[in-house]
């Protein structure tokens, strides 16, 4: 009330009412027109609240977004996250169920690294985490729990363009390193990944990368690996992977792969050696492929020993059995090769053991002559020389790659030399026992260690008056003697072929292929029009001697052979030659032995 009255008094004193009335204008309204007021307001809106008089104020600057090119933590939903399409893992992680259970129970322990290619609307796993991503997707599908849908990730910026080689290398090597740390990749998966890295390096640097150079470059990029392992990987990709990919990807280990590569090397060497003496039409690489590939149909049933047996048989067959199964086995079979290497070292082993024992006795004699009060001291040289040679046959149980692997190590207990008396030394008798065991093993094949098999076979044939029969697919050097370690069904099959060839019916002798190859054979029905009596007899004889299902059947058949065919006449030689007769006797002997083994349950 007071304020209103004061305002009225003020107005009455200071405003000339006559002037107001004569002007016709409202004293409380702005004197500007409507258009002038609009322009004035627009000008005031474009002026900053605080005037900046700096000369650089209106200069344009580059557009940047904070953190766009820096490593940082982000939150990503599963629909915006993709696995790395070049992931070296080709099979399901064997620890997948454990990883999934852990994530379900406690979430992600570590945020996966992700990146984003230029132009992509999604993120990609950068270096490990594809298994975790798969587990998260399954868990969200099963539970609809939002904690599996939205996850924290470490964002690593992509370098260069979308197809930049450096970024490809970083991602691939990162995945290899991450999986290597966790020990999750199989040997073949690593090999495939490193082959891809090699191709990217060669594309980037425009030059060939040797095993050593590739090893050095990988080490520089954070993935140390020896050039020897890289060489093994390349051999695996060349000789094995094209033929048995399923077997290798099913978890075939490095030790098994090395055994197969050793078999390949041994077989290739044997092939190259014998092809100079016996011309062959086929190629080893093709034979290797045809032998190995069928095993990939059932990876779970693959056995190296079975493959090795089939390979040896196929090589012998490729040489028309002019190279025997046993001769090839000695050169290719892993166990045989180990025994041969050990045998080659035997003289050195025995000599070193003997020298060691003599030196031990010399040191003991010196110690016995010293005064009791004097502290016995043995020089380092004497201790080294006196190191006893401890030999263990068990050390050859693993496949050796060189002669050094069958060498045995020196061992001596720590402490003063007074303990020397308690050292257990191998006696020469022990070495002799080992030599005898090796000799007995070779004798099971009819061979003598250190003697060429061909030479020994020729000597045995001469000794038994059978030098004329030392020929064909299965040379006969002894009619009656049985060598227990030999493949008797293989011998029988080869003899049957030799006999049948003499009468033009070799095509009727059929090798029956079983899952476990044992070289059983069967005889097809006679298909010759009007065969002579001897051919009919030979066919009937081979039919009752066939080894297919020999452990499940007995054959009752009457054989008829004329005396002239068997022993001849005063004018004509017998129709069955001496060579065929010896082969028949040997075949009968082997089949009788196989039957005997069946009866004994062996």
Give tens-digit pLDDT for 28-40. Answer: 455 566 667 666 6
What pLDDT sits at residue 329? 85
| Residue 304 CB partners (closer than 8 Å, separation 6+) | 256, 259, 260, 263
Which is it for strands 81-82 and 123-125: parallel, antiparallel or unpaired?
parallel
d(CA 582, CA 499): 10
Q: Which residues contact 243 (CB under 8 A, 6 or more apart)?
A: 288, 289, 292, 293, 296
What's the pLDDT band for 385 if we cut at 50, 70, 90? very low
Residue 40, pLDDT score: 64
- Tokens 């004699």 correspond to 365
Rounded CA-CA distance 231/210 in Å is 9
pLDDT for res 215: 93
Cα angle, residue 111 at apex, residues 107 and 112 outer, rounded to 5°:
115
More confident residue, 326 or 20: 326
Rounded Cα–Cα distance for residues 169 and 159 (Å): 11
pLDDT at 572: 85
- Phi and psi at residue 400, in whole multiples of 5°? -85, 150
Position 352 confidence tier, pLDDT thresholds 50, 70, 90:
low
Q: Which residue has the higher pLDDT, 111 or 559?
A: 111
Confidence label for 408 from pLDDT (cuts 50, 70 and 90): very low
CA distance 156 to 486: 64
Residue 538 vs residue 322, higher pLDDT: 538
Contact between residue 71 and residue 113 where contact means Cβ atoms under 8 Å apart? no
Whether 263 has a pLDDT exceeding 60, the answer reads yes
Q: What is the pLDDT of residue 415?
A: 41
Q: Is the pLDDT of residue 147 over 50?
A: yes
pLDDT of residue 237: 94
- CB atoms near residue 85 (< 10 Å): 9
SS3 of 389, please?
A: strand
The tens digit of pLDDT for each residue in 59-92 reads 443 333 334 567 888 888 999 899 888 888 888 8
Q: Summarize the confidence of residues 363-368 as an average pLDDT.
A: 66
pLDDT score recorded for residue 456? 85
What pLDDT shows up at residue 9? 52
> Coil, strand or helix: which one is 160?
coil
DSSP class per residue in 512-543: EP-SS---EEEEPPP--SS--HHHHHHHHHHH
pLDDT band at 198 (very low <50, low <70, confident <90, very high): very high
Decide: 383 and 414 in contact? Cβ < 8 Å.
no
Question: Is residue 208 scored above 90 in pLDDT?
Answer: yes
Q: What is the overall mean pLDDT for the chain? A: 76
Which helix (H) or strand (E) covers residue 509, if one does?
Answer: strand 509-512
Q: Reply yes or no on whether the pLDDT at 387 is more than 70.
A: no
Name residue 155's beta-bridge partners.
Answer: 72, 114
What length does the chain have? 602
- State the DSSP string of 537-580: HHHHHHHHH--TTTTT----------HHHHH--SSS--SS-HHH
Q: Quote the tokens at residue 391.
A: 């030999």
Mean pLDDT of 353-370: 64
Percent of the chain with pLDDT over 90: 25
**Number of Cα atoms under 13 Å in the Cβ half of residue 314:** 21
Lowest mean pLDDT: which of 254-268, 332-346, 401-415, 423-437? 401-415
Q: What is the mean pLDDT of residues 2-18?
A: 51
Instruction: Identify the weakest region by mean pLDDT among 8-17, 253-262, 378-387, 542-551.
Output: 378-387
The Cβ of residue 534 has, within 10 Å, a number of other Cβ atoms equal to 19
Beta bridge partners of 410: 389
- 220 compared with 86, residue with greater pLDDT: 220
pLDDT digits (tens, 9 = 90+) for 269-279: 999 999 888 88
Residue 397's pLDDT is: 39
Report the alpha-carbon distance of residue 374 to residue 448 in Å, rounded: 54
Of 434, 435, 477, nearest to 453 by C-alpha is 477
Strands (E), 26-149: 72-77, 81-82, 113-115, 123-125
CB 292 within 8 A of CB 299: no
**407: pLDDT confidence band, cut at 50, 70 and 90?**
very low
The answer to whether residues 330 and 447 touch, using CB atoms and an 8 Å cutoff, is yes
Higher pLDDT among residues 140 and 473, named by residue = 140
70 contact partners, CB below 8 Å, separation of at least 6: 157
pLDDT at 383: 42
β-pairing, 509-512 with 520-523? antiparallel
Least confident stretch, 25-29, 284-288, 347-351, 521-525:
25-29
Is the pLDDT at 348 greater than 80, yes or no?
no
User: Does the pLDDT at position 592 exceed 50?
Assistant: yes
Least confident of 95-104, 225-234, 510-519: 510-519
Q: What would the two tokens of residue 72 be?
A: 């940082």
Q: What is the pLDDT of residue 236?
A: 95
For residue 248, pLDDT beyond 70: yes
Q: How confident is the model at residue 500 (pLDDT cuts 50, 70, 90)?
A: very high
Q: What are phi and psi of 515, to 5 degrees?
A: -60, -40
User: Does residue 411 carry a pLDDT above 90?
Assistant: no
Q: Across residues 414-435, what is the average pLDDT?
A: 46
How far apart CA 159 and CA 155 sit, in angstroms, is: 12
Q: How many whole angstroms from its chain centre is CA 190? A: 10
The pLDDT-based confidence of 427 (bands split at 50, 70, 90) is very low
Reference 539, options 578, 581, 505, 495; nearest CA is 505
């Amino acid at each position: 009330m007071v304020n209103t009255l004061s305002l009225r008094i003020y107005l009455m004193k200071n405003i000339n009412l006559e002037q107001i009335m004569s002007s016709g204008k409202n004293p409380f309204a702005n004197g500007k027109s409507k258009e002038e007021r609009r322009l004035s307001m627009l000008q005031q809106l474009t002026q900053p609240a605080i005037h900046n008089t700096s000369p650089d104020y209106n200069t344009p600057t580059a557009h940047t977004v904070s953190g766009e090119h820096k490593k940082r933590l982000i939150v990503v939903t599963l629909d915006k996250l993709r696995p790395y399409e070049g992931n070296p893992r080709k099979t399901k992680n064997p620890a997948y169920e454990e990883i999934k259970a852990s994530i379900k129970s406690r979430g992600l322990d570590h945020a996966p690294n992700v990146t984003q290619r230029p132009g992509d609307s999604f993120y990609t796993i950068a270096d490990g985490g594809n298994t975790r991503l798969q587990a998260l997707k399954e868990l969200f599908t099963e539970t609809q729990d939002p904690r599996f849908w939205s996850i924290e990730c470490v964002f690593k910026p992509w370098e260069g363009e979308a197809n930049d080689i450096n970024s490809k290398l970083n991602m691939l090597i990162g995945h290899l390193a991450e999986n290597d740390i966790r020990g999750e990749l199989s040997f073949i998966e690593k090999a495939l990944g490193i082959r891809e890295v090699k191709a990217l390096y060669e594309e980037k640097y425009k030059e060939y990368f040797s095993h050593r150079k590739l090893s050095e470059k990988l080490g520089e990029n954070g993935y140390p690996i020896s050039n020897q392992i890289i060489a093994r990987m390349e051999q695996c990709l060349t000789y094995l992977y094209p033929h048995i990919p399923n077997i290798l990807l099913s978890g075939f280990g490095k030790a098994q792969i090395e055994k197969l590569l050793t078999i390949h090397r041994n077989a290739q060497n044997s092939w190259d050696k014998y092809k100079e003496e016996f011309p062959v039409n086929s190629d080893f690489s093709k034979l290797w492929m045809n032998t190995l590939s069928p095993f990939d149909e059932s990876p779970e049933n693959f056995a190296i020993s079975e493959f090795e047996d089939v390979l040896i048989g196929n090589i012998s067959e490729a040489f028309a059995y002019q190279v025997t199964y046993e001769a090839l086995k000695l050169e290719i079979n892993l166990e045989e090769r180990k025994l041969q290497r050990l045998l080659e070292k035997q003289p050195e082993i025995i000599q070193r053991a003997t020298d060691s024992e003599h030196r031990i006795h010399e040191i003991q004699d010196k110690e016995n002559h010293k005064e009791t009060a004097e502290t016995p001291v043995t020089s380092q040289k004497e201790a080294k020389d006196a190191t006893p040679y401890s030999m263990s046959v068990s050390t050859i149980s693993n496949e050796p790659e060189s002669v050094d692997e069958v060498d045995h190590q020196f061992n001596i207990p720590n402490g003063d030399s007074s303990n020397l008396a308690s050292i257990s030394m191998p006696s020469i008798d022990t070495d002799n026992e080992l030599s005898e065991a090796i000799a007995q093993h070779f004798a099971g094949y009819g061979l003598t260690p250190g003697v060429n098999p061909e030479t020994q076979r020729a000597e045995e044939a001469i000794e038994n008056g059978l030098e004329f029969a030392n020929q064909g697919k299965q040379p006969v050097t002894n009619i009656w003697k049985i060598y227990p370690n030999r493949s008797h069904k293989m011998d029988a099959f080869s003899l049957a072929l030799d006999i049948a060839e003499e009468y033009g019916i070799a095509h009727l002798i059929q090798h029956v292929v079983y899952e476990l190859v044992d070289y059983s054979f069967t005889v097809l029905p006679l298909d010759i029009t009007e065969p002579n009596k001897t051919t009919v007899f030979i066919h009937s004889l081979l039919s009752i001697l066939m080894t297919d299902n020999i452990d499940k059947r007995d054959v009752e058949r009457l054989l008829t052979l004329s005396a002239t065919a068997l022993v001849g006449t005063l004018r004509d030689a017998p129709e069955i030659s001496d060579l065929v007769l010896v082969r028949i006797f040997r075949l009968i002997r082997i089949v009788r032995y196989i039957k005997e083994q069946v009866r004994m349950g062996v």
